[in-house]
Amino acid sequence: MTDFRTLDDLNPAGKRVLVRLDLNLPLQNGKVTDMTRLERSLPTLKELASKGAKVIVMAHLGRPVGTDKTLTLAPIALALKEALVPLPVHFCEGPQVLKGIEALGPGEILLLENIRFVPGEEKNDPAFAQEMAQWGDVYVNDAFSTAHRAHASTEGIAHLLPSYAGRLMEEELHALHMTLDNPKRPLMAIVGGAKVSTKLPLLENLLSKVDILVMCGAMANTFLAALGHDVGASLYEPDLISTAKGLLDKGREILLPVDVVVAQDLKDPYPRTCMIHEVKKEDKIFDIGPATVSHIYHKMSSSHTLLWNGPLGVFETLPFDHGTNAVAQAAAHLTREGSIVSVAGGGDTVAALAHAGVVDDFTYVSTAGGAFLEWLEGKPLPGVLALLKKR
């Protein structure tokens, strides 16, 4: 596993601990509508506070250009206070940072204003990183979802202070390690989504590592077309037919839909299930059929590790959620049985698994979007590399 320090290596008592979290939460009318990311950050905060640390939290919201009060972390601070009762939680804006830190007592938590209000943050400005280094004694990164960004609060600061992985970061890296780096084989990957073009690096990396690759969603249509199938009026990328053929020739086992659910459009009251060779010119493919679900389950039941990214159909629109739901519930069943280790990630994937009611049944579900995808593509993540122990 990657050689990095964790909270097990840190005695935080009395220390000022700078913690980078992902608190980029959805808001509606000033209220947080989904607490998932915040809740996953709580173990690190509670552990540090319970051991007498002075905890200074850095986080962002959105992509502000300079100071944008519509993207203030004030509503996040309220949600954090409620989640951490009875721990003292404070909030302060930029000009008050030093005063806020000086007033902080052991076991107390201070949330700073949106770190992206500072121009030097996203530029990874060394001068801003040096300024941040004066705020704390040690640094903890618990925001894997921002680890693909070389920003001052995710990468620059880690080179200036003793640096550690928080519990969520540790959990995420462990899950990724046991999935692609050191999996129990056979290793099966399920990849869905709309376009091959957005997932080419991912597919190429996975084909070098997995034993079975399942491709579904609209992106599978391009591969079906490459095999000579008529996909009707379905979304596909004709300019990537030759690329798809090249990937199919990689020599790995690739499972594509053998039957599908088609309709004229998403409002068509009469969708029908048919075999691939029965797709008509006017048909649009919106989901996988039961025979494909059965094939996927058969392969999954003989696998020991499952990696999932992307829905298998237009799960947001009924009845085109059946395929995704059935495969998700099968994976959840095998995970509960102890037959497979299941790791999933990506925004649409999390939404699809939540829709199927199985998020808590998977071994690990990552809420990271871009970072999870870049890891799948085999790209180095600056925020993770910066945590490596210095030799």
* DSSP codes, 68-134: -GGG-SHHHHHHHHHHHTTS-EEEE-GGGHHHHHHTPPTT-EEEES-GGGSHHHHTT-HHHHHHHHT
Stretch 266-276: mean pLDDT: 95
User: Within 13 Å and on the Cβ side, how many CA atoms surround 121?
Assistant: 21
**The predicted structure's pLDDT at residue 374:** 86
Average pLDDT of the chain?
92
Phi, psi of 98 (to 5 degrees): -60, -40
Q: What is the CB neighbour count within 10 angstroms for residue 198?
A: 12
In whole angstroms, give the CA distance from residue 157 to residue 150: 10
Q: Select from 353, 365, 366, 299 the least CA-distant residue to 326.
A: 353
Stretch 218-230: mean pLDDT: 94
Stretch 37-62: mean pLDDT: 95
The residue count for the chain: 391
For the record, the structure tokens of 84 come out as 């951490």
Active site residues: 37, 195, 347, 370
Chain centre to alpha carbon of residue 224: 28
In whole angstroms, give the CA distance from residue 362 to residue 188: 15
Structure confidence by residue, pLDDT tens digits, 363-372: 999 888 788 8
Q: Does 183 score more than 70 pLDDT? A: yes
**Residue that wins the pLDDT comparison between 28 and 158:** 158
One-letter amino acid for residue 362 of the chain = F
Structure confidence by residue, pLDDT tens digits, 343-382: 998 878 989 999 999 999 999 998 887 888 888 888 889 9
**The predicted structure's pLDDT at residue 322:** 96
Phi, psi of 173 (to 5 degrees): -65, -35
In whole angstroms, give the CA distance from residue 326 to residue 291: 11
Q: Does 93 score more than 80 pLDDT? A: no
% of the chain surpassing 90 pLDDT: 75
Burial of 84 (0-12, 13-18, 19+ CB in 10 A): middle
**Locate tokens 């237009």: which residue?**
314
**The predicted structure's pLDDT at residue 53:** 97
Q: Does 304 score more than 60 pLDDT? A: yes
Question: Is 135:56 a contact under the CB 8 Å cutoff?
Answer: yes
In whole angstroms, give the CA distance from residue 376 to residue 391: 27
Assign domain 7-168 to its CATH superfamily.
Phosphoglycerate kinase, N-terminal domain (3.40.50.1260)
% of the chain surpassing 70 pLDDT: 99
Structure confidence by residue, pLDDT tens digits, 201-219: 889 889 988 999 999 999 9
**The predicted structure's pLDDT at residue 2:** 57
Give the residue extent of every domain in the chain: 7-168, 183-376
Q: What is the CA radius of gyration of the chain?
A: 23
Q: Does 139 score more than 80 pLDDT? A: yes
Structure confidence by residue, pLDDT tens digits, 1-22: 558 899 999 999 999 999 999 9
Q: How confident is the model at residue 76 (pLDDT cuts 50, 70, 90)?
A: very high
Stretch 225-243: mean pLDDT: 94
Taking phi over 0 as left and psi of -120 to 50 as alpha, with beta for the rest, 257 belongs to: beta
Question: Is 80:56 a contact under the CB 8 Å cutoff?
Answer: no
**The predicted structure's pLDDT at residue 187:** 95
Query: Which residues, in sequence order, are CB contacts of 32 under 8 Å at separation 6+?
Result: 25, 26, 38, 75, 76, 79
**The predicted structure's pLDDT at residue 166:** 96
**The predicted structure's pLDDT at residue 390:** 62
**What is the side-by-side order of every strand in the sheet holding 54-58?**
89-92, 109-112, 54-58, 16-20, 138-141, 163-165
**The predicted structure's pLDDT at residue 391:** 40
CATH architecture of 183-376: 3-Layer(aba) Sandwich (3.40)
Structure confidence by residue, pLDDT tens digits, 103-114: 999 999 999 999
